[in-house]
């Protein structure tokens, strides 16, 4: 900097010298004065504007930030078994990660199909900032499917439905087959009239209900081949008046033990949704968006049946046989399919199922020979129970087992 200032001073001195030489008359005098003056020089370097980077967004949410919406099909204080179990299981799952009950937004709707009101309830949960919204009735499937496409950052799920886009919407359900089988086996032992009742929400048009009825009826067959199963179909999942009428009707028929698959409080089955809810809440915490087709069952602890410890040992073998039968059942005899769509002839299908039954019988005999039964390590089979349960197949025309009798309940308020 000093060098630059001296150069400036020399320039000034030169100017003064020229001025002196150009004066008229007299000798030119030279006066050189070195003066340091403040000189501002333009910088050739570009100025860069310094900015402070915003802090990175956290990778996870705090428990206090979690919001869940639950849309129920019914009034707040009705006796819906499904609504009660869903809410209580959500509260338990939330408490595990310190999410309070206040962070669960609940909307109730009339059981009438007011789709505008239902849509408004779901959108209200979106506006409230819910990261997870659950439709607690299968009737909500279509409405939720449309809304899920509009809000890809929100997770949606609908109970007992076919809702699934693999991105942000899915379904969750509990397969009650094994538990219904155990309940049927239990009442087959307990009945004194050989008439067992069952209250069903729907008829053969609903696959889930039909499978539950058949599982129950097969359980009855496993322990009592003389008993018949009278099924009272009430037409809706939750219709307390019709359920009561169905119960009365079954008792008048002589049914002394009764099971059910409705949204009411009849029966001994308890549903456990906690595992699924814990998974979804963890996704919310991790800021994940996913859609699954989740199904729980008796083996995963998702549904329990009371008093199963009183069942004889051979019943558990029949439970495995029923599971195999349901897995290998040809689609042509499923109740939702029309008979015209059958690819095989009745004779071919009969031969196929007979062959499968014989194979299963041979495998069972090989695994449980007489020597094994008499050994100390073998499972004890009660002598008063039949060791070999006669085969029974689903009637392809009705969709039910032959020991089932269907009764339609027409209820009016």
Whether 125 shows a pLDDT value over 60: the answer reads: yes
The per-residue pLDDT for 320 is 84
Residue located via tokens 């009183």:
310
Other C-beta atoms closer than 10 Å to the C-beta of 189 total: 19
State the Cα–Cα distance between residues 72 and 85, nearest whole angstrom.
12
Q: Which helix (H) or strand (E) holds 230?
A: strand 228-233
| Domain edges within the chain | 64-174+272-299, 177-268+306-338+373-408
Q: What is the Cα gyration radius of the chain?
A: 39
pLDDT band at 380 (very low <50, low <70, confident <90, very high): very low
Q: What is the mean pLDDT of residues 100-128?
A: 92
The per-residue pLDDT for 95 is 97
Q: What is the mean pLDDT of residues 149-175?
A: 95
Q: What is the mean pLDDT of residues 282-309?
A: 91
Q: Is the domain 177-268+306-338+373-408 a CATH 3.30.70 member?
A: no
The pLDDT mean for the chain works out to 78
The per-residue pLDDT for 361 is 45
State the Cα–Cα distance between residues 47 and 30, nearest whole angstrom.
44
Q: What is the mean pLDDT of residues 198-214?
A: 93
Among 34-38, 152-156, 267-271, 296-300, the least confident range:
34-38
The per-residue pLDDT for 328 is 60
Whether 20 shows a pLDDT value over 50: the answer reads: no
Query: Which 3 state secondary structure label does DSSP give 79?
Result: coil
State the Cα–Cα distance between residues 59 and 82, nearest whole angstrom.
35
Whether 259 shows a pLDDT value over 70: the answer reads: yes
State the Cα–Cα distance between residues 261 and 344, nearest whole angstrom.
32
State the Cα–Cα distance between residues 320 and 323, nearest whole angstrom.
5
The per-residue pLDDT for 289 is 97
**Is 303 within 8 Å of 272 (Cβ atoms)?**
yes
Angle of CA points 138, 139, 145, to nearest 5°: 85
Q: What is the mean pLDDT of residues 308-316?
A: 84
State the Cα–Cα distance between residues 46 and 42, nearest whole angstrom.
11
326-339 tens-digit pLDDT: 766 545 444 333 32
41-71 tens-digit pLDDT: 454 555 555 666 767 778 899 999 999 999 9
**Is 371 within 8 Å of 208 (Cβ atoms)?**
no
User: CB neighbours of 129 closer than 8 A, spacing ≥ 6?
Assistant: 67
Question: Is the whole model's pTM more than 0.85, yes or no?
Answer: no
Give Cα separations from 126 to 26, 214, 286, 357 (angstroms).
98, 40, 19, 52
The per-residue pLDDT for 390 is 84
Q: Tell me 229's DSSP state.
A: E
Most confident of 66-80, 251-265, 280-294: 280-294
pLDDT band at 114 (very low <50, low <70, confident <90, very high): confident
Q: Tell me 300's DSSP state.
A: G
Q: What is the mean pLDDT of residues 109-136?
A: 92
Q: What is the mean pLDDT of residues 65-90?
A: 91
How is domain 64-174+272-299 classified at the CATH fold level?
Answer: Rossmann fold (3.40.50)
Angle between helices 346-367 and 314-328 (to 10 degrees): 140
Whether 108 shows a pLDDT value over 70: the answer reads: yes
Check for a shared fold between 64-174+272-299 and 177-268+306-338+373-408.
Answer: yes
Whether 251 shows a pLDDT value over 60: the answer reads: yes
State the Cα–Cα distance between residues 316 and 185, nearest whole angstrom.
10
State the Cα–Cα distance between residues 31 and 178, nearest whole angstrom.
116
State what percent of residues in the chain have pLDDT above 70.
Answer: 71
The per-residue pLDDT for 50 is 62
């Amino acid at each position: 900097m000093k060098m630059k200032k001296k150069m400036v001073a020399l320039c000034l001195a030169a100017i003064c010298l020229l001025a002196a030489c150009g004066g008229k008359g007299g000798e030119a005098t030279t006066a050189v004065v070195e003066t340091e003056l403040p000189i501002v020089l333009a910088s050739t370097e570009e100025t860069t504007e310094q900015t402070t980077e915003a802090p990175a967004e956290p990778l996870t949410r705090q428990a206090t930030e979690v919001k869940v919406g639950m849309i129920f099909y019914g009034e707040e204080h009705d006796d819906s078994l499904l609504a009660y179990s869903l809410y209580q299981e959500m509260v338990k799952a939330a408490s595990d990660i310190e999410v309070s009950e206040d962070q669960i937004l609940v909307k109730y709707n009339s059981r009438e199909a007011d789709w505008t009101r239902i849509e408004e309830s779901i959108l209200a949960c979106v506006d409230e900032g819910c990261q997870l919204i659950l439709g607690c009735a299968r009737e909500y499937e279509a409405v939720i499917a449309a809304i899920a496409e509009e809000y890809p950052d929100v997770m949606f799920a609908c109970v007992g439905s076919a809702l699934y886009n693999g991105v942000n919407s899915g379904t969750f359900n509990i397969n009650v087959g094994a538990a219904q089988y155990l309940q049927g086996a239990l009442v087959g032992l307990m009945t004194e009239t050989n008439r067992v009742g069952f209250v069903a929400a729907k008829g053969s048009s609903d696959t889930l209900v039909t499978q539950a009825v058949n599982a129950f009826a097969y359980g009855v067959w496993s322990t009592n081949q003389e008993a018949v199963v009278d099924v009272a179909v009430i037409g809706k999942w939750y219709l307390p008046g019709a359920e009561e009428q169905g119960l009365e009707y079954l008792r008048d028929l002589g049914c002394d033990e009764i099971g059910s698959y409705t949204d009411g409080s009849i029966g001994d089955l308890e549903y456990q949704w906690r595992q699924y809810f814990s998974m979804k809440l963890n996704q919310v915490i991790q800021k994940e968006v996913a859609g699954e087709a989740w199904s729980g069952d008796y083996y995963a602890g998702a549904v329990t049946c009371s008093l199963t410890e009183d069942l004889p040992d051979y019943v558990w073998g029949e439970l495995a046989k029923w599971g195999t039968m349901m897995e290998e059942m040809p689609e042509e005899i499923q109740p939702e399919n029309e008979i015209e769509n059958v690819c095989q002839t009745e004779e071919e299908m009969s031969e196929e199922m007979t062959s499968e039954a014989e194979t299963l019988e041979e495998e069972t005999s090989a695994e449980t020979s007489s020597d094994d039964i008499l050994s100390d390590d073998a499972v004890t089979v009660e002598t008063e129970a039949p060791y070999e349960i006669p085969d029974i197949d689903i009637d392809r025309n009705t969709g039910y087992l032959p020991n089932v009798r269907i009764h339609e309940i027409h209820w009016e308020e």
